[in-house]
Amino acid sequence: MVDTRLSGRVALVTGANHGIGAATAVALAREGVRVLVTYLRQSPDVYLVASEDGEAAASPGSAYYAREIAQTSESVEAAIAAFGGICAAREADLADSQSIPLLFDAAESEWAGVDILVNNAALAIPDTFLPDSILGDDARFADEYALRTLSAEGHDAHFAVNSRAVALMMAEFARRCIERDGAWGRIINISTDGSYCHPSNVSYGASKHAAESVTRSAAVELGPYGITVNAISPGAVQTGWMTPELERDIAAGYPLRRIGRPEDIADAAVFLASEQAGWITGQILNVGGGNRM
């Protein structure tokens, strides 16, 4: 068994009420890390999806996903408590820049300064350059989610969460680490393998591409202070948004012939946080079953 030497460290994991964020929080806690999870209960209206109970929400797809994004962090806190891990939680809208220092304050008031930052929180509302006259009223992304023409409001909303908040979280982390004379730190940003080109998810992909750029810049600037900065670029991960049919279709095109699980990304995040990854920085790690090479 690999000793990551993370026991006693403090991590801040954003977007951790479900999916990749929740799995990463649990994985870090298993390594003895004290984890502050953040989340934002999103209304299903954000995705123009009706929140449903019963059969419609029992299987992955839009109704199931609507339920996932609307939950608190209660389930991940319970999962961590079940094996004796240490966890605290705060709800925060990262599009509000004033919320960012408060999260670091919360970690410091609970335990100590943050050693590991995982920027996972994201907004992903399908949009396209195609005009409404072409789309019509029933255009869908993945046959499930309303597809809209790109707008200033929508584009800005994606960048506020997926790019600006990531940069501000990194800046706050760096300031506090350097001011306490820290000589060790890990920043791990969760991107997407669609960042290079993401038709029908234009604003999401572009904002993630911007986050990859600031990842590299931060790696250069923060390296002298013992802080590594990397990003994980996942392929399609089943966090509840894909129907079983879509999952099978996508998996058929992947060399490993399966869709990712949140735990696949969590394992990579633990590695990048570990002492074993101490000489890795400025990298975008593709974790996607061979979808991108």
H-run or E-run covering 189: strand 185-190
pLDDT at position 148: 95
Contact 211, 231 (CB under 8 A): yes
Degrees to nearest 5, angle at CA 223 with 216 and 101: 80
Q: Is residue 181 part of a domain?
A: yes
pLDDT in tens, 28-46: 999 999 999 999 998 877 7
If one counts the domains in the chain, the total is 1
Instruction: Name the packing angle between helices 19-30 and 262-273 (round to 10°).
Output: 50
Contact 27, 16 (CB under 8 A): no
As beta bridge partners, residue 145 has 141
Asked whether residue 1 is assigned to any structural domain, the reply reads no
Query: Active site residue: 39, 145, 204, 254, which one?
Result: 204
Tell me, what's the pLDDT at 35?
Answer: 98
pLDDT value at residue 90:
98
Residue 293 placed within a domain: no
Please report whether residue 4 resides in a domain: no
Q: Which residue has the tokens 């990712």?
A: 260
Q: Is 96 left (phi over 0), alpha (psi -120 to 50) or beta?
A: beta
Find all residues with CB under 8 Å of 167, minimum gap 6, and list them: 211, 214
Q: How much is the pLDDT for 50?
A: 55
Where the chain has pLDDT below 50, the residues are none
DSSP summary character for residue 55: G
CATH number for the domain spanning 47: value is 3.40.50.720
Instruction: Give the number of C-alpha atoms closer than 13 A to the C-alpha of residue 162, restricted to the C-beta side.
Output: 25
Q: Helices 19-30 & 74-82, crossing angle to 10 degrees?
A: 20
- Which amino acid belongs to residue 89? A
The angle at the Cα of 84, spanning 82 to 88, to the nearest 5 degrees, equals 90
For residue 152, how many C-alpha atoms fall within 13 Å in the half-sphere facing its CB? 0
Domain extent for 171: 10-287
pLDDT in tens, 206-220: 999 999 999 999 999
Query: In whole numbers, what is the pLDDT of the chain averaged over residues?
Result: 95
| Residue 145 annotated in active site | no
**Would you tell me how many other CB atoms lie within 10 Å of the CB of residue 266?**
26
Give the burial string for 128-146 (b: 16+ CB within 10 Å, else e): bebeeeeeeeebebbebbb
pLDDT for residue 1: 66
Sign of torsion, CA 103 47 71 116? negative
In a domain, 234, yes or no: yes
Single-letter amino acid code for the residue at 129: F
Residue 241 included in any domain: yes
